[in-house]
Amino acid sequence: IVFKFTAQKGLDTSLEESEYKYKVAHWLQEVARSIVSFKLSGRTSHAVTKNDGLVVEYLEARESHFKILVLQFAQMIGFKVLVTAGLLLIGGLLVLNQEMNIGQFVAAEIIILLVINSVEKLILGLETFYDLLTSLEKLGQVVDKDLESQTGEKPFKENHGFNVELENLVYKVPDREKKIIDNLSLKITPNCSILINGPSGSGKSTLLRLIAGILEPDAGSIFVNDVSLKGINLNYYRSHLGQSLTEETPFEGTILNNITFGDPTILQEDVYWALEKMKLTQFVKDQPEGLNTILYPEGRQIPFTIAKKIVLARSIVRKPKLLILKDPLDQFFEKEATEIMAFLTDKANGWAIVVVSENAKWSKRCGRIITMVNGKITEEKSNSNA
């Protein structure tokens, strides 16, 4: 009876308590991540106000859960009192009527009380039980998500380029009607160079993520050497891509690991080649531990351009078949940017390159210039001088 009417409510309040607990932790982490912005925000107390609100909601959820535990314990005590009183009443009558002797009465009472005490211990341990169920539910929310397939075809050889064809792609964010990519088609051939520009919000960054296999289109298809990307081994495909996207930054680890991701198949000479081409050689020389120097998360405590160069070095160290770049040379000195741009677009490298940038200098280096508006390609021009 105790479990029938209150067990589900107890689990619901336990889940609610856990949810608010992690919301508090997440907000504290977010404040720590943006600590400079909050310090410079002046007289506003948004960080504390929001934290107080989340803590209050957490405490209210915890109080609701505690009330369920108290109710269940009270019900158990009431049940125990009723059973004990009933046992004494019925047993007493049976003894008085000589239908049961004293020994049988005492033995029956002991057995029933032992059972009740065992159930009471279960009630007292319910909080731990609810914590266990909540943990399992949280794990389920993670492990129940679909995983990327790690099987599939490998429709190209290591020493061959590949053709990427986007056919009538459509992509939109769930719960929104507006299409970010709207019936877009594009061909990327080996050793080509493509510049994509257009106003903010036109779908340029989303297009790069679709090409990289990070996002799946809602409609349309992506083909690599005439094989659908859905049937290709994604890890193998991505191992032949080099990318420098806006959200990519160095992670906590050595310079070497930030460039190679710990891949033992990458030769040391290729690492130094990538460092040289991205103008990082002097930076590494200046570090006391060279390539073994530890970097902070998100490239903190190093210049922005150095962090971008490390990501660029990471993108070329495997000598990929296709480079996907988003504003790769923003805030670079002009001379340095020109030299790196010339290298990245050099056909001798053997890779195709797709760049999203509003920097006009890319248009002089790329063979195709594409303009996007509202998720569609509105114009495409060729540059015979590239």
Polymer length in residues for the chain: 386
Please say whether the beta carbons of 318 and 292 come within 8 A.
no
- What is the pLDDT at residue 335? 92
Tokens of 373: 């508006």
Phi, psi of 199 (to 5 degrees): -65, 160
Backbone CA torsion sign across 208, 214, 215, 220: positive
DSSP reduced 3-state for 254: strand
Q: How many other CB atoms are found less than 10 A from the CB of residue 70?
A: 10
Question: Above 80 in pLDDT, residue 53?
Answer: yes
Q: Give 121's pLDDT tier (boundaries 50, 70, 90).
A: confident
Q: In the prediction, which pLDDT does 96 show?
A: 78
pLDDT at 45 over 90: no
pLDDT of residue 35: 81
* pLDDT (0 to 100) of residue 187: 94
Contacts 24+ apart (CB under 8 A), 172-181: 172/218, 179/375, 180/206, 180/375, 181/206, 181/207, 181/210, 181/217, 181/375
Q: What is the pTM of this model?
A: 0.75
Q: Which residues are bridge partners to 229 per DSSP?
A: none
Tokens of residue 150, six digits: 């790690």
Domains and CATH numbers, the chain: 2-143 (1.20.1560.10), 164-382 (3.40.50.300)
pLDDT band at 337 (very low <50, low <70, confident <90, very high): very high
* CA 325 from centre of chain: 21
Is beta strand 241-244 parallel, antiparallel or unpaired with respect to 193-197?
Answer: unpaired
**Rounded CA gap, 190 and 193, in Å?**
9
**SS3 letters across 258-300:** HHHCCCCCCCHHHHHHHHHHCCCHHHHHHCCCHHHCEECHHHC
Q: Which residues contact 262 (CB under 8 A, 6 or more apart)?
A: none
Tokens 């006391």 appear where? Answer: 288
The pLDDT confidence band at residue 89, using thresholds 50, 70 and 90, is confident
Q: Which amino acid is at 364?
A: K
Task: Return the pLDDT at 284.
Answer: 93
Q: What is the pLDDT confidence band of residue 171, given thresholds at 50, 70 and 90? A: very high
Tell me what the mean pLDDT of segment 92-103 comes to.
Answer: 77
Q: What is the pLDDT of residues 241-288, one digit of tens each?
A: 999 988 889 999 999 999 998 888 899 999 999 999 999 999 999 998
* Per-residue tokens: 231: 């049937």
Q: Where are the alpha helices (H) located in the chain, listed in sequence order?
A: 2-33, 35-39, 46-96, 102-124, 126-143, 204-211, 234-238, 255-260, 268-277, 281-286, 304-316, 334-344, 361-365
pLDDT score recorded for residue 129: 77
Statement: residue 44 has pLDDT above 80: no
pLDDT the model gives residue 1: 62
pLDDT level of residue 158 (50, 70, 90 thresholds): low
Higher-confidence residue: 186 or 45? 186
Structure confidence by residue, pLDDT tens digits, 177-234: 888 999 999 999 999 999 999 998 889 999 999 999 888 999 999 999 888 888 888 8
Phi and psi at residue 82, in whole multiples of 5°?
-65, -45
Amino acid at 319: K
Upper half-sphere CA count for residue 106 (Cβ side, 13 Å):
3
pLDDT computed for residue 138 by the predictor? 78
pLDDT score of 3 = 67
Which residue reads 């922005």 in tokens?
A: 304
What are the tokens at 156?
């190209």
End-to-end CA distance of the chain: 80
Strand pairing class (164-171; 181-188): antiparallel
For residues 3 and 133, the answer to whether their CB atoms sit within 8 Å is no
